Chain A
Amino acid sequence: MIKLSCPSCGAEVEFRSKASVFSVCSFCHSTLVRHDMNLEQLGQMSELQDDLTPLQIGTKGVFDGKPFELIGRLKVGYEDGTWNEWYALSGDKEGWLAEAQGFYAFCYPVAGVQAPDINRMVPRAPVYIDQVGQMQVEDARNVHCLFSEGELPFNAVLGRKSFSVDLTGSNLAMATVEYAADETRIFAGRYQDFDDFQFQNLREIDGW
């Protein structure tokens, strides 16, 4: 774990994942980018309205028998809605918990694999990805960053744009390919029922 001070307010900023290069100060909401041991302030993260999620930073869960903890979040918006991508630390491995309309999927980054041609990524198209297998495109959307908090492995500044493709395979397998300006990332994992994650430290929701 790396502990640094917020250049704006001096509060302690933790980086629990070695891969994290971005953080939002939990006190002054400054967006910070890490250059090795130095923090640079990029701007401010505005407060999020209407944020209905049962998860929060610090929520713990289990996937494939391995415990994980949520340490960062990226909330993205597209033309017809929003979803959350929670950055998770499972031991010293990084993973992501995708959350949308009550569906939850846990996935890991897939390294060293060529991403499929972006032009082939249209809904219902069959796509084969090395190390992932045969998948089908579920949806393909232009998304932008609405909000981020905690630590993240890339510069999740407000408005960050990418083209996000969700794919599904057999036995609840899922994959996401994210085409951003600077890089293309592939994630593969599986959908799982809420109860099977055995979540702890969930957010309180008024009336529930």
Chain B
Amino acid sequence: MAGSSEGSSAKKAKPLARSFACPACGGTVTIRYPGAALSCVCEFCQTVIDATDTNYRVIEKYFSKTKHFEPFVPLGTRGKLKGKDWEMVGYMVRADDVSGYFWDEYLLFNPYYGYRWLTCNGDHWSFVTTIKQKPQARTHSQSTSWYKVKMELEGRDFKLFYRGRAKVLFVLGEFYWKVKADSLVNMEDYICPPYMLSSESDGKEIVWSISEYLEVDDVAAAFKPAKKLKKPSKVAPNQPSSAAVSWQYMSKLWLASFVILTLLQVWQLGYNNNKQVLESSPVYTANAKNAPTYTTAVFNIERDKTGALLEFSTSVDNSWLYVSGEMVNDDTGETFPFAQTIEYYHGYDGGESWSEGGTSNNVFLSAVPKGKYYLNIDTESGDFKDTNPHVLNVIVKQSPPLYGNYFWCLFLLSLLPGISAWSNTCFESSRWFESDYNPYASTG
């Protein structure tokens, strides 16, 4: 602990607290940290008293007429936050000048580390530290869009969330400045969850502070309030989002796998040479009874376990041709059966010409072992009156480039990131819902 004193010359610590009678109501007022406190508030009549000299001059009587608020634990309670002990010495309720929306601010003190604030806004808690750094404005000078107003501090970008004026509704305890009731301060909040950067200015000075979001349970564990703290129901401006975290990881993972998958696809397209190994043009007679099975010449599949693409085309016209058969390994007799229909219809109806299907179709056979092959082909025609001979063009290509696998993988891979992106957008739009600078609001 920083308070432990070495050295033999250390004087014994003097008790700090000092009490006096309230100049307004006569009640006993105790200053816990005289020397640090500049003003203190009588707990009985809410009169603000000058704590700097023993005349105990009244600074402000206004608060005695206002509504009474209660701190969530008695002032003087100590709690450990961010690894250090803090004593709650002051309590303030402040409100937006226009909307009247109010929130609680607790002044924390540690004689070694100075002051911090614990704020409670809509049941959300934050730990606030005044900073000496000056954030840099990142406003785009060309754009008048308000949601482009950003502040940069230590590598983080903060977006404007709130701009307004705050007034003090209620005070209790002791403060390191002279509390005035009528003073309005200009406030700006910029967010980068779990942080919020805030400025307060009274026209003379600008004070910057940084708030860090606290979980309700951490506040309860630190100060042990008698009454259970309420869980927040809405999203706070600086509330960390698990959706944002998962989207952050997910989007990176998605991008990485997209790149890998695409590189694999590019490699695959280059590797599969799409070599034509057979071209044959058998003649068939449509609807011929007992038409013989046509057998092609033998062709060579040079790569092992590769794909083979059988392309059939013929001159069907408002009709179909059913092509079936098998690809047979000349050495082992292993067969790869196939069946495919070529159909083509077209016409002119109600002033519009239409067409459906086409005069060609193909069959893909996968994982074909290398070797010598031939095709056995049977046909069946849908044009029952046609007895003319027709040419069926047959082309076999080994190792055709593949696309389907790539797009299917991409689709499946995008499912979870898609859900993640969507839930992130939902969370962020509820975060920004009450902001005047909502980037998710539709602009009129």
Taking beta carbons and an 8 Å cutoff, which residues of A are in contact with B?
Answer: 49-54, 58, 80-82, 101-103, 123-124, 136, 138-139, 168, 170-172, 174, 191, 194-195, 199-208
Residue of B6, B9, B35 near A52 (CB, 8 A) is: B35
Q: Which of B106-114, B159-167, B424-432 contacts A (4 or more CB under 8 A)?
A: B106-114
The answer to whether B57 has its CB under 8 Å from any CB of chain A is no
What secondary structure prevails in chain B residues at the interface with A? Answer: loop
Report yes or no: B132 in contact with A174, Cβ–Cβ below 8 A.
yes
Report yes or no: A205 in contact with B6, Cβ–Cβ below 8 A.
no
How many angstroms from the CA of A52 to the CA of B14 in the assembled complex? Answer: 10
Question: Which residue on chain A has the smallest CB distance to residue B10?
Answer: A204
Question: Which residue on chain B has the smallest CB distance to residue A57?
Answer: B9
The answer to whether B433 has its CB under 8 Å from any CB of chain A is no
B359 → chain A closest CB, angstroms: 74
B84 → chain A closest CB, angstroms: 9
Question: Which residue on chain A has the smallest CB distance to residue B18?
Answer: A50
Residue of A50, A58, A81, A170 near B34 (CB, 8 A) is: A50
Chain B residues with CB under 8 Å of A58's CB are 7, 9
Chain B residues with CB under 8 Å of A207's CB are 13, 16
Report yes or no: B205 in contact with A81, Cβ–Cβ below 8 A.
no
Contact A103 B6, CB 8 Å, known A54-B112, A194-B113, A204-B12: no
Report yes or no: B38 in contact with A52, Cβ–Cβ below 8 A.
no
B390 → chain A closest CB, angstroms: 84
Residue of B3, B12, B35, B133 near A50 (CB, 8 A) is: B35
Report yes or no: A203 in contact with B5, Cβ–Cβ below 8 A.
yes
How many angstroms from the CA of A122 to the CA of B13 in the assembled complex? Answer: 40
How many angstroms from the CA of A52 to the CA of B11 in the assembled complex? Answer: 14
Report yes or no: A52 in contact with B3, Cβ–Cβ below 8 A.
no
How many angstroms from the CA of A207 to the CA of B1 in the assembled complex? Answer: 12
B207 → chain A closest CB, angstroms: 10
How many angstroms from the CA of A167 to the CA of B354 in the assembled complex? Answer: 80
Shortest beta-carbon contacts, A-B, top 3: A102-B114, A50-B35, A52-B35
Contact A203 B10, CB 8 Å, known A168-B132, A172-B133: yes
Chain B residues with CB under 8 Å of A50's CB are 18, 34-35
Chain B residues with CB under 8 Å of A201's CB are 5-7, 9-10
Report yes or no: A52 in contact with B133, Cβ–Cβ below 8 A.
no
How many angstroms from the CA of A191 to the CA of B132 in the assembled complex? Answer: 8
Report yes or no: A81 in contact with B12, Cβ–Cβ below 8 A.
no
Known: A202-B3, A208-B85. 11 other contacts (CB 8 A): A52-B35, A53-B35, A54-B111, A81-B176, A81-B177, A102-B112, A168-B134, A194-B2, A194-B113, A202-B112, A205-B111
Contact A136 B134, CB 8 Å, known A103-B114, A199-B2, A201-B10: yes
**Residues of B113-144 contacting chain A, CB below 8 A:** 113-115, 132-134
Question: Which residue on chain A has the smallest CB distance to residue B7?
Answer: A201
Question: Which residue on chain A has the smallest CB distance to residue B207?
Answer: A138
Chain B residues with CB under 8 Å of A208's CB are 1, 3, 85, 110-112
Residue of B5, B14, B15, B34 near A202 (CB, 8 A) is: B5
Question: Which residue on chain A has the smallest CB distance to residue B109?
Answer: A102
Residue of A51, A80, A139, A202 near B178 (CB, 8 A) is: A80
Chain A residues with CB under 8 Å of B15's CB are 206
Taking beta carbons and an 8 Å cutoff, which residues of B are in contact with A?
Answer: 1-7, 9-16, 18, 33-36, 38, 52, 85, 110-115, 132-134, 176-178, 204-206
How many angstroms from the CA of A41 to the CA of B256 in the assembled complex? Answer: 78
Report yes or no: B205 in contact with A52, Cβ–Cβ below 8 A.
no
B8 → chain A closest CB, angstroms: 10
A32 → chain B closest CB, angstroms: 21
Chain B residues with CB under 8 Å of A101's CB are 36, 114-115, 176
Report yes or no: A139 in contact with B38, Cβ–Cβ below 8 A.
no
Residue of B35, B38, B115 near A102 (CB, 8 A) is: B115
Report yes or no: A52 in contact with B111, Cβ–Cβ below 8 A.
yes
Contact A80 B206, CB 8 Å, known A52-B33, A102-B115, A103-B132: no
Chain A residues with CB under 8 Å of B205's CB are 123-124, 138-139
Chain A residues with CB under 8 Å of B85's CB are 208
How many angstroms from the CA of A194 to the CA of B114 in the assembled complex? Answer: 9
- Tell which of B10, B15, B132 has the most Cβ of chain A within 10 Å: B132
- Tell which of B1, B16, B34 has the most Cβ of chain A within 10 Å: B16
Chain A residues with CB under 8 Å of B133's CB are 170-172
How many angstroms from the CA of A123 to the CA of B204 in the assembled complex? Answer: 6
Chain A residues with CB under 8 Å of B114's CB are 101-103, 194
Contact A205 B176, CB 8 Å, known A136-B134, A170-B134, A174-B132: no
How many angstroms from the CA of A199 to the CA of B1 in the assembled complex? Answer: 11
How many angstroms from the CA of A170 to the CA of B2 in the assembled complex? Answer: 29
Report yes or no: B38 in contact with A81, Cβ–Cβ below 8 A.
yes
B181 → chain A closest CB, angstroms: 16
Contact A52 B132, CB 8 Å, known A203-B10, A205-B3: no
Chain B residues with CB under 8 Å of A136's CB are 134
